[in-house]
């Protein structure tokens, strides 16, 4: 059973409370000094941090109006053909700040005179040392290999930046961020309680433990959540998982659904609930077994495995809460499959790529 991972999962509400209170002044300083100096944002990241970058793509565009794209570090390293970065802001997202390919992207941005901002849990890292601005997650060291508290704190840091860069009276409300830690505590309490947690129910676990595959679907802000849950299930349990936008899933991949095929959907209330639910219904019509993460009782009633999240979290912040059931599911599946979920075989905390 997990000794380290469960502690770090349970630290997430406290980490975000600390970040929301302490990091806002720096986020506002960054925005004040950089507004008018760029037209679009490029995000450079890997792994869980790239999933956070997917969230930034949605939130920085919907809240602050900046086009956002993800860099491909191989362009800078293996191909040695860096693009022109005129009018770009380079946003790095890296828990360790140490991967050589991400460092190469930052160096190129500096060589072209473009501003750099780094979100990291390691403020003395190589990337931090050459960045113009650093937003420190201040989560404390993560000892488990799989990122949990650093991932959700990164999402909150992105929301702080979006709040700072958005026009007056924009989408992101600081009061929503202040309310978030207490809402996360509700999630943590529910999923830590074996009497309440759906991932502790043996029929659900038995279904997934004996399956070789699973599809995870999300859309909008929670496209990032689908990809992060996919990664957590792979890392922690070895289950072969594939994530899709619920819209992209209809463009061919739905053909793989056979009777009993498990599909996990992320369906908080908001603009994407209806479209994602429609995709889930189509999968169900083909015989899929459905797990659903939602705050909507009617949606949960349709699921074979309903995964509750509390009401009242705005859709734009729901990725912070919605990923937590996936973390618990990955941990439970890994334990049931005999995996050391604190340090799964074959992966490392700091992965260096070129």
Q: Are 269 and 295 in contact (CB under 8 A)?
A: yes
Element (H or E) spanning 52, and its range? helix 48-64
What local confidence, expressed as pLDDT, does residue 3 receive?
87
Rounded CA-CA distance 279/285 in Å is: 10
As to burial, measured by CB atoms within 10 angstroms (0-12 exposed, 13-18 middle, 19+ buried), residue 90 is buried
Mean pLDDT of 267-272: 98
Which tens digits make up the pLDDT trace of 272-322? Answer: 999 999 999 999 999 999 999 999 999 999 999 999 999 999 999 999 999
Model confidence at 205, pLDDT cuts 50, 70, 90, reads confident
Mean pLDDT of 186-190: 97
Domain layout of the chain by residue ranges: 5-172, 194-336
User: Does the predicted TM-score (pTM) go above 0.85?
Assistant: yes
Candidates 127, 171, 135, 170; CA nearest to 270 is 171
Rounded CA-CA distance 209/340 in Å is: 15
What local confidence, expressed as pLDDT, does residue 35 receive?
96
Candidates 159, 147, 146, 176; CA nearest to 55 is 159
- Sheet containing strand 133-136, strands side by side: 68-70, 40-45, 88-93, 116-120, 133-136
Residue the block writes with tokens 């994602």: 276
Q: How long is the chain?
A: 354
Percent composition of the chain: helix, strand, coil (DSSP 3-state, to 5): 50, 15, 35
Question: Which tokens go with 243?
Answer: 């994530």
Q: Which residues contact 132 (CB under 8 A, 6 or more apart)?
A: 115, 116, 117
**What CATH number is given for 5-172 in this structure?**
3.40.50.10490
19, pLDDT greater than 70: yes
**CATH 3.40.190.10: does it fit domain 194-336?**
no
Model confidence at 167, pLDDT cuts 50, 70, 90, reads very high
Which tens digits make up the pLDDT trace of 227-265? Answer: 999 999 999 999 999 999 999 999 999 999 999 999 999
Q: Do domains 5-172 and 194-336 have the same CATH topology?
A: yes
Scored b (16 or more CB within 10 A) or e, 123-135 reads bebbbbebbbbbb
Q: Which of 18-32, 55-69, 91-105, 222-236 shows the lowest per-residue confidence on average (mean pLDDT)?
A: 91-105
Model confidence at 343, pLDDT cuts 50, 70, 90, reads confident
Average pLDDT, the chain: 95
Crossing angle between the packed helical segments 318-336 and 223-237, to the nearest 10 degrees = 20
């Amino acid at each position: 059973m997990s000794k380290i991972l469960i502690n770090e999962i349970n630290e997430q509400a406290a980490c975000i409370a600390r970040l929301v209170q302490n990091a806002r002044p720096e986020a506002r300083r960054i925005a004040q000094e950089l507004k008018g100096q760029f037209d679009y944002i490029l995000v450079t990241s890997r792994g869980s941090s790239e999933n956070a970058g997917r969230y930034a793509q949605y939130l920085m565009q919907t809240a602050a109006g900046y086009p956002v794209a993800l860099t491909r570090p191989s362009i800078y390293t293996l191909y040695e053909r860096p693009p022109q970065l005129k009018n770009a802001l380079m946003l790095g997202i890296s828990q360790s700040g140490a991967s050589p390919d991400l460092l190469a992207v930052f160096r190129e941005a500096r060589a072209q005179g473009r501003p750099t901002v780094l979100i990291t849990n390691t403020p003395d890292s190589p990337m931090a040392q050459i960045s113009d601005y650093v937003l420190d997650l201040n989560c404390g060291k993560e000892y488990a290999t799989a990122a949990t508290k650093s991932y959700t704190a990164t999402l909150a840091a992105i929301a702080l930046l979006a709040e700072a860069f958005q026009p007056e009276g924009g989408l992101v409300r600081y009061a929503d961020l202040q309310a978030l830690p207490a809402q996360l505590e509700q999630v943590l309490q529910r999923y830590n309680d074996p009497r309440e947690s759906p991932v502790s129910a043996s029929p659900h676990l038995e279904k997934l433990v004996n399956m070789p595959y699973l599809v995870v679907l999300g859309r909008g802000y929670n496209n990032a959540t689908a990809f992060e849950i996919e990664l957590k299930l792979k890392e922690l349990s070895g289950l072969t998982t594939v994530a899709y936008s619920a819209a992209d899933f209809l463009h061919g991949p739905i053909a793989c659904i056979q009777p009993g095929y498990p599909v996990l959907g992320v369906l908080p209330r908001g603009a994407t609930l209806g479209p994602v639910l429609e995709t889930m219904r189509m999968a169900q019509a083909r015989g899929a077994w459905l797990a659903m993460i939602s705050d909507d009782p009617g949606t949960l009633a349709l699921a074979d495995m309903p995964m509750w999240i509390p009401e009242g979290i705005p859709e734009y912040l729901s990725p912070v809460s919605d990923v937590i059931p996936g973390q618990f599911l990955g941990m439970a599946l890994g334990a049931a499959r005999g995996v050391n979920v604190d340090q799964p075989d074959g992966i490392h905390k700091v992965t260096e790529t070129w």
